Structure 1
Amino acid sequence: MKADRLLSIMLLLRGRASMSARELADHLEVSARTVMRDIEALSAAGVPVYAERGRNGGFSLLEGFRADVSALTDDEAQVLFAYTGLDTLSDLGLGSQVRQTLDKLASTAPDRTLERARDLRDVVHVDRRRWFVDPDDSRHLPTLRMAAVRNQRVRMSYRGASDARAKQRTVDPYGLIENGGRWYLLAHHRGSTKTYRVGRVTSLSVLDATFERPAGFDLDAEWERMRERFERPGEDNITLEFRCSRAEERQVRRACQPMLVSGTTIDTDESGPDSVLMRCTFRIRRAAIGTLLAFAGDVEVLAPSDLRTEMREVARAAAATYEA
């Protein structure tokens, strides 16, 4: 809708010193000609938007201008007042501020709008916790948030997955990412950008030293690159099919979950009343063998055939060891 686009243009110009027509068009996914018509419409409506010519020119809003956007549609009010992701912002130390903001908006909203929002809240619940996994320790998130916003370097004790004990690292915190209920710190350390699981930070201190982000750095784009690289199939990944007794299905799912590649699907075989057919991609071949062998006769690998052979050899070796 044009009204939404006009509001978006005002918000974009408020957040930046100046933007060209092409930059606005790319952000709004419209043509530059449409942006020019929208700028004319804003000017005609009394919005103090002006153009700066030159190589670094563009459109700007008069400093201090504020638009009245208090009139919310029912759907917009539901997004605000029935927002169910407050725990994400609470992790960052912003939960009370969000609630205060919503209370202020609610005080001016019609009763019918609030009733619609309550109706939505009654039928939607968000649980960010992973199955069978304890929640991460997020007590350092508010401090990391402030350090990232202020471009302040931090020193942290961090215990990686393969570390016997925590190690000291001094990093430049570029930003924070919440992924499936876990928080990650994207930071610069010793010449490269790395990710750190916030739950593995054991202690943290903010230094007086500041840092500068690389020109053109985009947190969203950098995270997507790192995620793609992480999820790229590795040489040791293996996809297999196996039959599992229905009595042990829940335990098998629970045992396999931490070692599966993201996006793995599990199919149910409706033809067998006493078993289910599962298809999984494991990160590590030997992890698949060890996990499934632990269920003995309740699990049978069907494919690939070479894995069946390897599992038989591993089982024989284990039996020989314990018989001795």
Structure 2
Amino acid sequence: MSKADHMLSILWLLRSGRRMTAREMADKLEIHVRTVYRCIDSLCASGVPIIADSGPGGGYRILGQFAESPLLFDAEEQKALLHAATFAREAGYPHTEALERAVGKLKLYSNEDQLIRMELHDRGVSVIYPPSDDREKAVLRQLEEAAAQGMTLEMVYDKGRGEPPRSRGFDTYGIVHWKGSWYAIGYCRLRQTVRSFRADRIVELRPANSRFVRPEAFSAKRHLLESMLPGALDDETLVTVRIAGPELALNELTRHWLFGHTLVSRSEGEAAFRLGQASLNSYVPYFLLPYGTSLTILEPATLVERLAKVSAELAQYYNEMKR
């Protein structure tokens, strides 16, 4: 048996709730007592609260509620973990190797029926994302670690506009996966403001001799959304937008990332959203154009007028092209 098997067996023995000496566990598992000591040291290092009581009647025991916590997952939990691993892996999750090891352990301690069921469920879900290379995963691992530890990084970034890459100090507040790409959000010491950066455009990262404290209420996801579409989620200028249409068209609309985030109510043939006023004059009309006449804007009238103007400008552009 491997060391991992011995560790799991010892854990099962200690979950009984009674104290056991190293010799008792060694005899029960038919292994050397020194193996028991090594496995207990490894379990403690991994976070298992094992207590050693000395004296007559002493031995090893597990502290507190850990003894009652489940060691194994039921069928639904196993399926959920496999599917979550599929999504994370295909999205370019930076800790893919650790993820694969965790899934491997899940399968290692499963019986034949469980393995067959897991394989069937695992084959039933696929995800399509743009491929993420190993260099970008290494960058994401470094960004995530810096965010957790509060370590400032020196970042060389290429804007992709033909300009030479530029170096800056960067305090990583979080990384966000959005529309097939990874973004790093944090405080840019060059511009002295919070900014977002495409991970695939980061040329180099190295530790800087500085630390930071992440703002308590900061949301990396919300900052990215607001930076991509300024005013779309501005609480001070939110306007109710009511749109009518067939269920299929409304279903597709609410799957759009912006409309999905701002949906406030849904009834048969109608959906209501709360959107920033600025976005109604800029981005929203262009998001609605592909739906053509399948959707009807009930309110506000300003959005109807703006969409009519955008449509007229588009028609004029192509009419002029035909001349």
TM-score norm. by structure 1 comes to 0.52
Structure 2 counterpart SS, 1:140: helix
Task: Name the CA distance, whole Å, in 2 between partners of 1:120 and 1:192.
Answer: 48
**1:262 shift after superposition:** 1.4
Cα RMSD (Å): 5.5
Instruction: Map Cα deviations across residues 287-313 of structure 1 (whole Å, 9 max, x no partner).
Output: 34455577665554322345446666x
Higher mean displacement: 72-81 or 93-102: 72-81
Distance 1:140 1:310, change over 3 A: closer
Task: Name the CA distance, whole Å, in 1 between partners of 2:159 and 2:303.
Answer: 34
Instruction: Map Cα deviations across residues 32-76 of structure 1 (whole Å, 9 max, x no partner).
Output: xxxxxxx99996872597xxxxxxxxxxxxxxxxx9x99535459
State the match for 2:145 in structure 1: 149
Counterpart of 1:304, as a letter, is P
Task: Name the CA distance, whole Å, in 2 between partners of 1:227 and 1:242.
Answer: 27
**1:205 shift after superposition:** 0.9
Distance 1:89 1:176, change over 3 A: farther
Partner residue of 1:279 out of 272, 278, 296? 272
Contact map agreement 2:244 2:270 (CA 8 A) in 1: yes
Distance 1:300 1:72, change over 3 A: closer
Instruction: Map Cα deviations across residues 260-297 of structure 1 (whole Å, 9 max, x no partner).
Output: 3714268464xxxxxx5443444411234455577665
| 1:60-209 equivalent positions in 2, closer than 5 A | 72-75=72-75, 78=78, 82-89=82-89, 91-104=92-105, 106-118=107-119, 120-121=121-122, 125=125, 127=127, 135=130, 139-146=135-142, 148-149=144-145, 151=151, 153-159=153-159, 168-170=166-168, 171-178=170-177, 182-190=181-189, 194-199=194-199, 201-207=200-206, 209=208
Counterpart of 2:138, as a letter, is P
**Residue 60 (structure 2) pairs with residue 46 (structure 1):** yes
Task: Name the CA distance, whole Å, in 2 between partners of 1:228 and 1:204.
Answer: 21
Counterpart of 1:168, as a letter, is R
Partner residue of 2:297 out of 298, 301, 310? 301
Contact map agreement 2:82 2:103 (CA 8 A) in 1: no
State the match for 1:8 in structure 2: none
Distance 1:70 1:106, change over 3 A: farther
Contact map agreement 1:175 1:185 (CA 8 A) in 2: yes
Counterpart of 2:210, as a letter, is F
Q: Larger % of helix: which?
A: 2
Task: Name the CA distance, whole Å, in 1 between partners of 2:158 and 2:252.
Answer: 32
Task: Name the CA distance, whole Å, in 2 between partners of 1:158 and 1:310.
Answer: 36
**Residue 252 (structure 2) pairs with residue 257 (structure 1):** no
Give percent identity, aligned residues only.
13
Count of matched residue pairs: 255
Counterpart of 1:117, as a letter, is M
TM-score norm. by structure 2 comes to 0.52
Contact map agreement 2:245 2:270 (CA 8 A) in 1: yes
